[in-house]
Structure 1
Amino acid sequence: MTVSAPLASNVPVRAKRVLPGFGLTMGVTLSYLGIIVLLPVIALVLKGAEIGPQRFMQIITAPRTLAALQLTLLAATIATIFNALYGLLMAWVLVRYEFPGKRLLDALMDVPFALPTAVAGLALTALFAANGWYGALLTPLGINVVYTIWGVALAMSFTSIPFVVRTVQPILEDMDPQYEEAAITLGATRWTIFRRVVLPAILPAWLVGITLSFARSLGEFGAVVFIAGNLPMKTEIASLLAVIRLEEYDYNGAAAIALVLLVIALVLLAASGLLQARAQRYQGKSA
């Protein structure tokens, strides 16, 4: 006696999701993103829209506001240039060389992430003041760091240097050494190997780190206010001026300054996203 096979059911069978509870976790994540991130940003944009174009331009073109924005952008640029070079060098050392204390040095790269920025600002001020360890050596040479743009750039660089190191380091670790070995067999010099083989591979990640470093420097507050001295028209950064406007109950002025910084940050984040997508495409082609 033969048993006929059961007829195939036309009822569609749902594929099991890889992540259990995906709908719940995604809902919680989006809710958190909306409440903590999107709503404050939307509120800031709406507050800026209430000011009106004419009043908005009057606020951001005021001499004190322009001086604060110019100082912030210039100091962030100086800090980012330093971070781009030093961060690349540090990532190279951590990946390509073995030496005593390497793990400790690697761990120290994350200290700016863990250390409160106010503590970092106090420490830098104590070190570079005229009677500090570094300041006592620099001041007789006519080099002043505290209460100058160099102090602002120093504080920004300290808090944002890990972005460059941590974006370049894993790319260097994953690089296949056979390309460099092939270049050596062809008689290429070390500089040629770096310029023609290594740099194209790490360039997208390096640019991402530079972009994130610049964005972080623009928004730095705690580490800067102690070492800058907050002198109007001289060492006053934009974020501090926004706080001062709040203390003066000038909410329109604070919103306008914050909106300018927000626009710059969003542009930088968009550029960082494009660079990350390019880096992922490069890694996919290289795999």
Structure 2
Amino acid sequence: MDYRAPRNTTWGGVGLNRLESWLANAAFLRNMRRAVFARLPFPPLVSDVRDVLYASWMVPVDAVAGLVPPGVVLRQWGGMTVVTVLTYAHGHFGPRWLGPLRRLCLSPMQSNWRLYVDAARSTPQLPERTVLFTRNVFDSWLYALGTRVFSDALPSHRAGRLAVVADAQGIAVRIDSGGGSAPDLYLRADYGPAALPDAFAVMGDWAATVAYLTCQDAAVAQVADLPALARSDISLPVNLADVRPMRGVVADVPDWLRAMGAVGMPLCFAVPRVTFTALSDAIVARW
């Protein structure tokens, strides 16, 4: 999906918006980066993530088939699969080699929208716990542009506004596209007892379902400007004992997501803090 900068930008006018969109969609920049960095080691990127809100819906596999690249097969339960919107605040997202100086890096807000891959049935060979990124959203033009130009596995967009607000009762997430290519979204979830919606009972009990939705080793995505699949190996060591159950109390999702079957209150839970590391970013298949 082409990148379109939000109109209600806070860092420039229409001309800079057009420049931002042009840079984000410039295939020649990505081709230059691939040629230069293809034989160089990937610099791991680290972030001390906080206030992570998971919101998941069971949807028909057929309804999301158009989002799935060739060779990738989704994990399914009786013709249904899971779509998750995962939103959080970064903590100094930058290269690990910076060490203590990483505190100088910015801490953007991010939301990634994912499906879950059946690795045993997919090609190329993938780690058992792999997700498929369908959307990634930042509130920062620097990180949105940086991931569009320097990453093949993180198809990012910039929201006009992306806010993650945590309080004693729960977490609220608001994404305002601002007329750009990012999706609109509002979610509010409050802390409460662990309760598994009926639609998720096919995945097991609460603990098994949360473990499946949180513990991943890799992410794949269709490359923005090539008929190809990119993969990023990741480290996300969530301590399941720290996961806080929640109940979705408000969910206002975009029409296209609702059309996929993401209706009603999602399964929600929160992770207070976790250290995230991106370990690689490479094209692994072409068609």
TM-score where L is the length of structure 2: 0.24
Counting helix residues as a fraction of each chain, which structure ranks higher? 1
* Structure of higher CA gyration radius: 1
TM-score where L is the length of structure 1: 0.24
Q: Which has the higher contact order (CA 8 A, sep 6+)?
A: 1
Counting strand residues as a fraction of each chain, which structure ranks higher? 2
